[in-house]
Amino acid sequence: MIFLIFQNLTIRQNAIYFGNILLYFLYPKQVIKSLLNSSLKSSQYTNKNNQIYKYKSVKINCNLNKMASTLTKAQRLKNLNDLLSQFSNKVKQNNIKLPKFVKVVEVGPRDGLQNEATLLPAKDKIDLINRLSDSGLKTVETTSFVSPKWVPQMGDNMEVFAGINKYPNVSYPCLVPNVKGLEQALKVGVKEIAVFGAASEGFTQKNINCSIAESLERFRAVIEEAKKHNLLVRGYVSTVMGCPYQGDVDPEKVAEVSKILYDMGCYEISLGDTIGIGTPEKTDKMLTAVKKQVPVEKLAAHFHDTFDKAISNILVALEHGVSVVDSSIAGLGGCPYAKKQAGNVCTENVVYSLQQLGIETGIDLLKLKQIGSDITTKLKRDNMCLLE
């Protein structure tokens, strides 16, 4: 029995909640099955006046309760500028040293497009990657060497990688889940790969049907083979601040998995807030734990923007000394656990925020904005960029 208590929410917000409940009963069992393992006792959301309200729920999946933002882009941009202003004042008052340069890792062509409903032709992907390379980005995650049966959006991986212009100062990492994928990547000359682990047992079991320990042993084989071919390897750790299946994730577990991947030979560990439920407080605790196991200069922030918290969390990461941030052009990707919500944090918004703080990126923001506008037009989806 589902029981909700709404306090002072707008009519639209109440309609969204009850619509989500209706979806719970209408969705086919096979679609909803994997979403039934987490519940919220309480949560917070903001209304159009940016006031915080609470609701309580019993046995209702958090993924069916994400409400669409009621704020306009202009309102959200104002909130962002206010946040950046407050943060700048904090930095000055407390003499906080921030990184002078931040490397922005563009994940849109891989992490973004693989979660989009529209299948983009290979030629359009190639054009997207070439334009991103021309914008000043130094790392553009290109594709994923996975089975097209499971990720049809990446079925043209070899064609795409072979077809892009390889800029001399740009890296083009590709996600490789296993040795078979690595073999495919090597055929087209991939020089850098990424492996994708998790800090949640529930998430690991649901995704690849094994334990965290077993998954890491699989990655060990991939990393060792990659090293034989002098490939760089980047490690991802997902669900670092929460899991859709088991709820909260212990920061110490995040640190443990991060250290194992680092010790295996990953040159960088990207910490992913997979469902975007991180907060500045959670980010602080998580990074405090991970920094004890992995040097901060080897860490990257990969935060999703499901509840408009990604930039706030990135600011905390900057305070900790993290100088690498993952993002997706126009916010491509979405969150598979919160339909119609923001997923990957938007690259344009990240670069804008860094520039406002006086942090160098080497990226042409005007070019990014045009690229984001063009790709969202092709995909017929919303552009998460807040800038006009």
Residues 251 and 213 in one domain: yes
Q: Is 335 a catalytic residue?
A: yes
Q: Is the pLDDT of residue 110 over 50?
A: yes
- Whether residue 226 lies inside any domain: the answer is yes
Instruction: Please state which of the ranges 254-268, 315-329, 331-345 shows the lowest mean pLDDT.
Output: 331-345
- Whether residue 109 lies inside any domain: the answer is yes
Residues 30 and 171 in one domain: no
Burial of 332 per CB tally in 10 Å (0-12, 13-18, 19+): buried
Instruction: Please state which of the ranges 27-36, 75-84, 135-144 shows the lowest mean pLDDT.
Output: 27-36
Q: Which of 15, 38, 64 is the last residue of a domain?
A: 64
- Give me the phi and psi of 303, to 5 degrees please: -110, 135
Residues 221 and 263 in one domain: yes
Determine which helix (DSSP H) or strand (DSSP E) holds 96, and give its type and residue range: none
Residues 6 or more apart whose CB falls under 8 angstroms from that of 170 comprise 133, 137, 138, 139, 140
Structural domains of the chain, count:
2
- Whether residue 76 lies inside any domain: the answer is no
Residues 55 and 93 in one domain: no
For residues 271 and 254, the answer to whether their CB atoms sit within 8 Å is yes
- Whether residue 385 lies inside any domain: the answer is no
- Give me the phi and psi of 209, to 5 degrees please: 55, 45
- Whether residue 350 lies inside any domain: the answer is yes
For residues 345 and 327, the answer to whether their CB atoms sit within 8 Å is yes
Q: Is the pLDDT of residue 239 over 90?
A: yes
* Token pair of 371 as six digits: 């690229």
Instruction: Please state which of the ranges 21-25, 283-287, 352-356 shows the lowest mean pLDDT.
Output: 21-25
- Whether residue 205 lies inside any domain: the answer is yes
Q: Provide the pLDDT for residue 340.
A: 54
Residue 109 sits in which domain range?
Answer: 81-379
Say which residue, 251 or 20, is predicted with more confidence.
251
Instruction: Please state which of the ranges 16-20, 21-25, 122-126, 149-153 shows the lowest mean pLDDT.
Output: 21-25
pLDDT tens digits, one per residue of 23-39: 333 333 333 333 333 33
* Token pair of 108 as six digits: 């849109």
pTM > 0.85: no
Residues 54 and 92 in one domain: no
Residues 169 and 46 in one domain: no
Beta-bridge partner residues of 303: 273
Residues 54 and 105 in one domain: no
Residues 281 and 148 in one domain: yes
Residues 248 and 345 in one domain: yes
- Whether residue 70 lies inside any domain: the answer is no
Which residue is catalytic, options 62, 174, 266, 335?
Answer: 335
pLDDT tens digits, one per residue of 194-209: 999 999 999 999 888 8
- Whether residue 73 lies inside any domain: the answer is no
Q: Is the pLDDT of residue 211 over 80?
A: yes
- Give me the phi and psi of 18, to 5 degrees please: -70, -30
- Give me the phi and psi of 78, to 5 degrees please: -60, -45
Residues 60 and 99 in one domain: no
